[in-house]
């Protein structure tokens, strides 16, 4: 059954039941009312009015009944018009929702519904538009990811092909070509691994083994790993390590990944002769590790976007040999360990990344 007949039937049932209730209520309530007024009229007429009691009573009851019955067609008309108006608006909203759903199903994620009014139908339209916007962003991200991955793989694949052809033509010794091919394949493997890690981080499927770890151990290990790389680039790396009793509640391996990505970012964007330093500060029940560089800095409109996969801010901050997802992984892991990662920067004044994490609950925390 279509919507209008169903609404009309419901309205008619309501009107009929209401009319029946009114008739019964009027009959019950009108009896003492009519009797009182008839008696008042007889008292005014005098002794002759006694013979009119039955006629007066019957006339007043008949008038009341006729009035109620006369109002019934009007009520039915109002019910019909109301059902038609309601059905028309609901049907229009449903048809609009159906058309929008078909558009979304066919891949037209830019489709939006008109949001008019403040009732439930308008709320449904707003919810649909919110869903469509989220799907549009997901689709845009998917398309961008495919394009970026293709772009990232195009260069090493071309290099592998070139080295293979050079070895086949005898232009390049086989050992040298194989070494170069192995280097390019390692780069592609690193990209695939990073993308897999990004996927697991964003879906919350990263295995974590949280434990109390001295902050000084994390920073010393990171310094030992990157000190030589910074020296080779002519960049000064300084570490301000806190006392050994300061511990954080993290996964040691994942924490090293976060620090490695932050230090790799500083190494990549700090020019020779520059400086990078790492510091740690306790703030209440949390500790913040800051990694600061003297690189070209980041424009304000790009501060949050640097954590997006494959984001390019400008030529001054090109990725070099990075996979383009290091900061994405770093923030995802930081948040997975109940922390967060933020950035402060100004163009020409370097960048500072702040990793905030909870202190270990196993030991008293410095105030």
Lowest mean pLDDT among 172-176, 194-198, 219-223: 194-198
More confident site: 199 or 352 = 352
More confident site: 358 or 3 = 358
pLDDT at 363 over 60: no
SS3 363: coil
Average pLDDT on 204-221 reads 89
For residue 176, count other CB atoms closer than 10 A to its CB: 12
Q: Give me the residue spans of the domains in the chain.
A: 3-105, 120-202, 211-358
The mean predicted confidence, pLDDT, of the chain is 80
Assess whether the region 120-202 and the region 211-358 belong to the same CATH fold. Answer: no
Which range, 240-249, 286-295, 316-325, is most confident?
Answer: 286-295
CATH number of 211-358: 3.30.565.10
What is the reported pLDDT for 43?
A: 64
What is the reported pLDDT for 54?
A: 67
Q: What are phi and psi of 299, to 5 degrees?
A: -65, 150
Contacts (Cβ under 8 Å, ≥6 apart) of 348: 296, 297
Rg (C-alpha) for the chain, rounded Å, is 39
pLDDT at 235 over 90: yes
SS3 305: helix
pLDDT in tens, 48-89: 655 556 666 666 667 767 776 777 777 777 767 777 777 777
Give me the sign of the Cα torsion angle 149, 152, 154, 158: negative
- Considering the segment(s) 120-202 as one domain, its CATH architecture is Orthogonal Bundle (1.10)
Counting residues of the chain whose pLDDT is more than 70, the rounded percentage is: 77
C-alpha of 219 from chain center:
34
Helix spans in 174-325 (H): 174-202, 215-232, 252-269
* Partners of residue 124 on adjacent β-strands: none
8 vs 73: CA distance, rounded Å = 14
What is the reported pLDDT for 114?
A: 80
**Residue environment code for 190-211, b if the CB has 16+ CB neighbours within 10 A, otherwise e:** ebeebbebbeebeeeebeeebe
What is the reported pLDDT for 318?
A: 46
pLDDT in tens, 17-40: 776 776 666 666 666 666 666 666
Q: Are 355 and 339 in contact (CB under 8 A)?
A: yes
What is the reported pLDDT for 60?
A: 65
What is the reported pLDDT for 59?
A: 67
What is the reported pLDDT for 334?
A: 93
Q: Cα(first)–Cα(last) distance of the chain, in Å?
A: 71
More confident site: 138 or 352 = 352
Counting residues of the chain whose pLDDT is more than 90, the rounded percentage is: 25
């Amino acid at each position: 059954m279509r919507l209008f007949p169903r609404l009309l039937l419901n309205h008619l049932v309501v009107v009929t039941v209401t009319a029946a209730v009114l008739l019964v209520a009027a009959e019950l309530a009108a009896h003492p009312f009519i009797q009182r007024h008839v008696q008042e009229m007889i008292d005014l007429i005098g002794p002759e009015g006694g013979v009119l009691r039955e006629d007066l009573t019957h006339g007043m009851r008949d008038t009341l009944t006729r009035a109620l019955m006369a109002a019934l067609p009007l009520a039915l008309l109002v019910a019909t018009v109301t059902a038609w108006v309601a059905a028309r608006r609901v049907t229009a909203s449903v048809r609009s929702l159906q058309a929008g759903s078909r558009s979304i199903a066919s891949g037209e994620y830019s489709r939006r519904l008109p949001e008019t009014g403040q009732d439930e139908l308008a709320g449904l339209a707003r919810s649909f538009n919110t869903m469509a916007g989220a799907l549009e962003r997901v689709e845009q991200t998917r398309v961008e990811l495919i394009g970026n991955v293709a772009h990232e793989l195009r260069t090493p694949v071309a290099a592998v092909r070139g080295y293979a052809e050079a070895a086949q033509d005898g232009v390049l010794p086989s050992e040298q070509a194989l070494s170069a091919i192995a280097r390019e394949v390692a780069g592609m493997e690193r990209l695939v691994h990073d993308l897999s890690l990004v996927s697991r981080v964003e879906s919350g499927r990263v295995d974590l083994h949280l434990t109390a770890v001295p902050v000084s151990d994390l920073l010393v290990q990171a310094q030992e790993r990157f000190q030589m790389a910074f020296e080779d680039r002519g960049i000064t790396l300084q570490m301000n390590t806190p006392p050994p009793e300061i511990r954080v509640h993290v996964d040691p391996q994942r924490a090293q990944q976060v620090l490695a990505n932050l230090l790799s970012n500083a190494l990549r964007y700090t020019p020779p002769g520059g400086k990078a330093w790492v510091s740690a500060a306790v703030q209440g029940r949390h500790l913040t590790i800051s990694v600061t560089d003297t690189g070209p800095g980041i424009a304000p409109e790009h501060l949050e976007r640097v954590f997006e996969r494959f984001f390019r801010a400008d030529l001054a901050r090109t990725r070099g040999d990075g996979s383009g997802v290091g900061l994405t992984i770093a923030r995802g892991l930081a948040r997975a360990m109940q922390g967060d990662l933020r950035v402060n920067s100004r163009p020409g004044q370097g960048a500072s990344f702040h990793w905030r994490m909870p202190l270990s609950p196993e030991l008293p925390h410095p105030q």
